[in-house]
């Protein structure tokens, strides 16, 4: 059982044999992918407030200093992103920021909102109006909170980080692995295409890394909802000076991820934080969301690579580079998937564990998101161009 999981209603049993098998994996045990993918996005840091104070994170600001974007600011960011050919609006903010930030709570109340989640919903609707598909990362989410915004998101995500209790999750309100696992479980029950991942180098052991990957696999096996798993190294910044994991560590844990996870789940590394060129042969097939417009507000010292740099990474591995949407093709209805799709469709074979008919169709995208994908406007044409695999130079 992973740390604290049962307390949050998540029953996950990690088999010792599976852990031992995974710990024996090396990069020689995996194959390189057939292609690399990435998404073109804009980063929308809705608020820099967070109830947590993790020692490696520069994203959060102290109470009294934290900011909250207005919907007008959100619209400007999204408009610029759409003009630059982006397809994704990546919404980030700290966990329950209105929980301990009185100024943030007061501002939300002034704008007619009783929580950050109803405000996020309005922000996602602005993104859709500007021609971007929302992908929100709102941290720990109850089922009710997740349901508030799920239908206006093409996909969502939260980093598991680790199933271990580590000192880097400092302070009186430290992150609890069980809460993160519950969020991933909630997403599965609500048919949300989901991104998660592990953070490498924050004090976790090798066994912790193996257990974290196996916990993700266990939840995916129940709900068939994980689209990608990020293998992200911690990096030095103004709050963290203990260094990043060694290259050999990253190569080994990336290979472990590829072996642990089903084929339909992409293994992603962020190219501004990880040595992507040296990890592709360990099973990496996705380079994440990269923005031509905005900074990486979580890691502002580490610039996004330009498209030509992504192409150089792909060229170094002799692989094609393809753009994708923030929701993977396997979660789209069959009539929206391109004819060339040859992956594993998310066809509703999971779901029996939460009382539903496992053979019933699951609604992975809402009518709102489907309407955006089908729209006969500039955004809809942009989405379809990505799905049809138009060359990057023609967009």
Give average pLDDT by consecutive 10-residue segment, the chain, 395 residues.
Answer: 66 93 97 94 83 63 73 95 93 72 82 91 98 93 94 96 79 78 95 96 92 96 96 75 86 98 96 90 93 55 63 93 96 92 76 51 89 96 92 50
Put residue 201 in one of left, alpha, beta given phi > 0 → left and psi -120 to 50 → alpha. Answer: left
Asked whether residue 393 is domain-assigned, the answer is no
Asked whether residue 87 is domain-assigned, the answer is no
Alpha-carbon torsion, ordered 330, 333, 338, 343, to 10 deg: 20
Asked whether residue 126 is domain-assigned, the answer is no
Is 124 annotated in a binding site? The answer is no
pLDDT for 58 equals 58
Tracing tokens 């990069």 back to the chain, one arrives at: 27
Range of the domain at 264: 3-39+136-337+379-386
Question: What is the β-pairing status of strands 133-137 and 88-93?
Answer: parallel
Asked whether residue 321 is domain-assigned, the answer is yes
pTM of the model: 0.90
Q: Report the first-to-last Cα separation within the chain, whole angstroms.
A: 48
Asked whether residue 152 is domain-assigned, the answer is yes
Asked whether residue 59 is domain-assigned, the answer is no
Asked whether residue 178 is domain-assigned, the answer is yes
Asked whether residue 101 is domain-assigned, the answer is no
Is 282 annotated in a binding site? The answer is no
**What is the number of domains present in the chain?**
1
Is 78 annotated in a binding site? The answer is no
Strands (E), 244-368: 266-268, 286-290, 321-324
Instruction: Write the CATH number for 312.
Output: 3.20.20.70
Helical H runs in the chain? 16-23, 71-83, 102-110, 116-129, 143-149, 177-189, 206-223, 247-260, 307-316, 367-374, 378-387
Q: Is the dihedral of CA 228, 150, 223, 204 positive or negative?
A: positive
């Amino acid at each position: 059982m992973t740390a604290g999981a049962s307390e949050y209603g998540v029953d996950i049993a990690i088999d010792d044999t599976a852990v031992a098998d995974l710990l024996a994996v090396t990069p020689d045990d995996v194959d390189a992918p057939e292609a690399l993918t990435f998404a073109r996005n804009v980063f929308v840091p809705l608020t820099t407030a967070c109830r947590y104070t993790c020692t490696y994170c520069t994203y959060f600001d102290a109470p009294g200093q934290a900011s909250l974007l207005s919907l007008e600011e959100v619209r400007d960011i999204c408009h610029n992103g759409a003009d630059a050919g982006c397809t994704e609006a990546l919404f980030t903010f700290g966990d329950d920021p209105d929980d301990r930030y009185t100024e943030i709570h007061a501002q939300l109340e002034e704008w007619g909102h009783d929580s950050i989640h109803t405000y996020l919903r309005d922000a996602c609707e602005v993104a859709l109006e500007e021609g971007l598909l929302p992908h929100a990362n709102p941290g720990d989410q109850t089922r009710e909170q997740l349901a508030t915004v799920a239908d206006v998101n093409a996909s969502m995500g939260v980093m598991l980080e680790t199933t271990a209790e580590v000192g880097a999750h400092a302070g009186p309100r430290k992150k609890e692995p069980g809460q993160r696992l519950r969020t991933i479980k909630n997403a599965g029950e609500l048919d949300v295409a989901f991104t998660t991942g592990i953070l490498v180098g924050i004090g976790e052991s090798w066994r912790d890394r193996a257990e974290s990957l196996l916990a993700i696999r266990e939840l995916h096996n129940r709900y068939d909802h994980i689209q990608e798993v990020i293998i992200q190294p911690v990096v030095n910044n103004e709050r963290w000076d203990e260094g990043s994991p060694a290259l050999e560590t990253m190569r080994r844990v990336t290979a472990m991820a590829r072996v642990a996870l089903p084929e339909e789940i992409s293994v992603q590394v962020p190219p501004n934080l990880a040595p992507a060129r040296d990890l592709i042969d360990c099973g990496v097939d996705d380079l994440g969301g990269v923005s031509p417009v905005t900074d990486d507000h979580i890691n502002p010292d580490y610039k996004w690579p330009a498209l030509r740099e992504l192409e150089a990474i792909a060229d170094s591995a002799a692989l094609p580079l393809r753009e994708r949407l923030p929701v993977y093709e396997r979660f789209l209805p069959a009539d929206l998937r391109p004819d060339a799709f040859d992956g594993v469709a998310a066809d509703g074979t999971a779901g029996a564990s939460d009382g539903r008919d496992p053979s019933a169709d699951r609604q992975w995208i809402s009518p709102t998101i489907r309407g955006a994908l089908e729209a006969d406007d500039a955004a809809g044409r942009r989405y379809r161009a990505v799905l049809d695999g138009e060359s990057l130079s023609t967009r």
